[in-house]
């Protein structure tokens, strides 16, 4: 088990290190790979980046606890992601090309050529805080899996993941990240698919699976029991909130930068095809495995549902395949962690420092610094992976998605109005989570709507004044 796990990890690391041979030694190459990445690689990389340890650990745990109602996470998330991509991806790429900016914050703040440096720094600060939280969640996910399967100390997985991410990000930047992400995406798909098939067969087929799930009270209900409103209205609101969660992808710098690395619209369409094909397959299998895990693992007061997948793999697989599943989990955590680290590095060197740093050595040093900070947060944290990821995801989306939508619509909000929209959207999302309402409605929904309302109201008011 350990041997197969180590072999896969070494393979990922070597792929990342090999990317250094293609490096051109520039900031443009480190953060955007000089626009030379193949569309299918971008698609697979985006899948791995988006899915993360959240899918292997967080979604499995949520599905174990919630039952069939968790399907709305999948439907809403994919639908929202697709809608946003059709509207945003090509426009964001065009803006990145016109501005020559390397970072997500740089593109948003210089969309129409204006020097909105205060907006850029604000976006940079928010990105850094939430992306670090996000990265720490990935390291936590890896730690949990290693702890269950190998009985290693809970900190060991976080340290191992941080070291490996540092190695290949230091070597090749986003090119290393994309290459390793593509390989990791393959392992993630195979390991999740194998676990789903073996689980169904071992139970006795789909009929027996359904029968046993029906025996669990409320497990096959279409909607959770703790809805804001009873009946259909509550169900629609629940599903709609997760559509906003998928739509929130446009506020994620670490995902959007992959599409910024493409060189033309045709490549964008091809990358999108590969992305949604693999994304849909993987999410469906992850949801299925989460449902199946409830049959195999008995819930107790001390049971951590986020450990369901590695524990289930132990019960069903021989050691060599358990190593494959663990490699899949670790691949998921690293594929997202490396992207988050690079986005944080770009934020520091390109968005926050008074003088933009373009020397590769200093850029790489910032990458090491960011990974170390994420590791420290991971070792200090005691929250669930699911909650950490959703909090970071919703915070970034609430802050940035409203502004990006208005920019894509051709609107030109002032720097102060843009800052106000960012602050209001983020504040509403944080308030929503603080009150506990996020358990019923994803906080990104009110956060994004609040930011959009600020922009719409102000621009409408300015238009009325101009007419008068």
Q: Is residue 407 part of a domain?
A: no
CATH of the domain at 264: 1.20.1730.10
Residue 204 region by backbone torsions, left for phi larger than 0, else alpha for psi between -120 and 50, else beta: left
In whole angstroms, give the CA distance from residue 378 to residue 399: 24
Residue 35 has pLDDT above 60, yes or no: no
Using the Cα atoms of residue 118, residue 119, residue 124 and residue 126 in order, give the sign of their dihedral.
Answer: positive
Q: How confident is the model at residue 53 (pLDDT cuts 50, 70, 90)?
A: low
DSSP 3-state assignment of 318? Answer: coil
pLDDT at residue 190, rounded to an integer:
85
Average pLDDT over residues 164-177: 73
10 or 402, higher pLDDT = 402
Rounded Cα gap, residues 239 and 73, in angstroms: 7
Higher per-residue confidence, 191 vs 331: 191
Q: For residue range 430-465, what is the model confidence (pLDDT) as tens digits?
A: 999 988 888 778 899 999 999 999 999 987 777 666
* Number of structural domains the chain divides into: 1
Q: Are 217 and 49 in contact (CB under 8 A)?
A: no
DSSP state of 1: -
Which DSSP string corresponds to 438-452?
A: GGTS-THHHHHHHHH
The answer on pLDDT for 317 being more than 80 is yes
pLDDT at res. 394: 93
What is the pLDDT at residue 463? 66
Whether 332 maps to a domain, the answer reads yes
Asked if the structure places residue 106 within a domain, the reply is yes
Residue 331 tokens read as 């691949």
CB atoms within 10 A of CB 131: 26
Residue 54 confidence class, pLDDT cut points 50, 70, 90: low
Are 218 and 225 in contact by the 8 Å Cβ rule? The answer is: yes
Over residues 92-136, the pLDDT tens digits come to 988 988 888 878 999 999 998 878 999 999 999 999 999 998 888
Residue 311 lies in a domain: yes
- Is the pLDDT assigned to residue 301 strictly greater than 80? no
Give whichever of 52-56, 70-74, 291-295, 451-455 has the largest mean pLDDT.
451-455
How confident is the prediction for the chain on average, in pLDDT? Answer: 83
For 69-83, the pLDDT digits (tens) are 888 888 988 999 999
pLDDT of residue 413: 92
Examine the pLDDT at 51 and tell me if it is beyond 70.
no
Residue-wise pLDDT tens digits, 226-237: 666 666 777 788
- 390 located within any domain: no
Distance CA 174, CA 31 (A): 5
Considering the domain boundaries, does residue 459 fall inside one? no
325 C-beta neighbours (distance < 10 Å), count: 29
User: Which is higher by pLDDT, 121 or 183?
Assistant: 121
| CB-based contact 254:49 (threshold 8 Å) | yes
The dihedral built from the CA positions of residue 354, 355, 361 and 364, taken in this order, carries a sign that is positive
In this prediction, residues 321-344 reach a mean pLDDT of: 78
The answer to whether residue 217 scores a pLDDT higher than 80 is yes
CB atoms within 10 A of CB 371: 28
**DSSP string for 16-72:** HHHGGGG--SSHHHHHHGGG---HHHHHHHHHHHHHHHIIIIIIHHHHHHHGGGGHH
- Give the span between the Cα atoms of 116 and 120, in whole angstroms: 6
Mean pLDDT confidence for 2-22: 75
* Residue 423, in any domain of the structure: no
- Would you list the DSSP string of 147-210? HHHH---TTHHHHHHHHHHHHHHHHHHHHHHHHHHHHHHHHHHHHHHHHHHHHHHHHTSHHHHH
Q: pLDDT tens digits for 385-430? A: 777 888 889 999 999 999 999 999 999 999 999 999 999 999 999 9
Q: Among 29-33, 76-80, 289-293, whose mean pLDDT is lowest?
A: 29-33
Domain of 294 in residue numbering reads as 2-384
Residue-by-residue DSSP string for 361-385: HHHHHHHHHHHHHHHHHHHH--S-H
């Amino acid at each position: 088990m350990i041997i197969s796990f180590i072999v896969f990890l070494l393979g990922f690391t070597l792929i990342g290190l090999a990317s250094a041979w293609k490096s051109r030694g520039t900031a443009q190459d480190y953060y955007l790979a000089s626009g030379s990445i193949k569309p299918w690689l971008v698609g697979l990389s985006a899948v791995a980046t988006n899915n993360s340890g959240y899918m292997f650990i967080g979604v499995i745990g949520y599905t174990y606890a919630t039952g069939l109602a968790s399907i709305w996470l999948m439907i809403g998330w994919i639908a929202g992601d697709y809608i946003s991509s059709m509207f945003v991806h090509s426009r964001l790429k065009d803006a990145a090309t016109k501005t020559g900016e390397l970072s997500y914050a740089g593109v948003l703040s210089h969309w129409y050529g204006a020097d909105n440096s205060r907006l850029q720094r604000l976006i940079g600060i928010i990105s850094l805080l939430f992306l670090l939280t996000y990265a720490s969640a990935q390291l936590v996910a890896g730690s949990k899996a290693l702890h269950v399967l190998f009985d290693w100390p809970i900190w060991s997985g976080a340290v191992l993941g941080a070291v490996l991410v540092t190695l290949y990000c230091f070597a090749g930047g986003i090119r290393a990240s994309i290459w390793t992400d593509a390989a990791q995406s393959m392992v993630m798909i195979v390991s999740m698919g194998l676990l789903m098939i073996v689980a169904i067969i071992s139970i006795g087929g789909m009929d027996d699976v359904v029968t046993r799930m029906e025996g669990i009270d409320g497990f096959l209900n279409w909607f959770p029991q703790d809805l804001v409103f009873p009946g259909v209205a509550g169900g629609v609101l629940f599903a709609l909130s997760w559509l906003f969660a998928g739509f929130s992808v446009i506020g994620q710098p670490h995902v959007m930068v992959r599409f910024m690395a493409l060189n033309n619209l045709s490549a964008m369409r091809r990358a999108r095809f590969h992305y949604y094909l693999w994304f849909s397959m993987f999410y469906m299998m992850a949801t299925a495995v989460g449902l199946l895990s409830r049959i195999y693992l008995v819930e107790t007061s001390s049971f951590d549902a986020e450990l369901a997948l590695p524990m289930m793999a132990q019960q069903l697989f021989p050691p060599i395949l358990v190593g494959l599943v663990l490699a899949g989990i670790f691949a998921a955590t690293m594929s997202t962690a490396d992207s988050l680290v690079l986005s944080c590095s770009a934020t520091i060197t390109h968005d926050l420092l008074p003088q933009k740093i373009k020397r590769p050595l200093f850029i790489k040093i910032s990458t090491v610094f960011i990974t170390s900070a994420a590791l420290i947060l991971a070792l200090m944290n005691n929250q669930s992976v699911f909650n950490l990821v959703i909090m970071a995801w919703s915070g970034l989306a609430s802050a940035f998605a409203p502004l990006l939508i208005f920019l894509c619509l051709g609107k030109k909000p002032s720097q102060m109005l843009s800052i106000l929209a960012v602050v209001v959207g983020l504040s509403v999302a944080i308030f929503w989570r603080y009150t506990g309402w996020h358990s019923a409605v994803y906080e990104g929904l009110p956060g994004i709507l609040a930011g959009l309302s600020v922009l719409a109201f102000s621009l409408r008011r300015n238009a009325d004044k101009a007419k008068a």
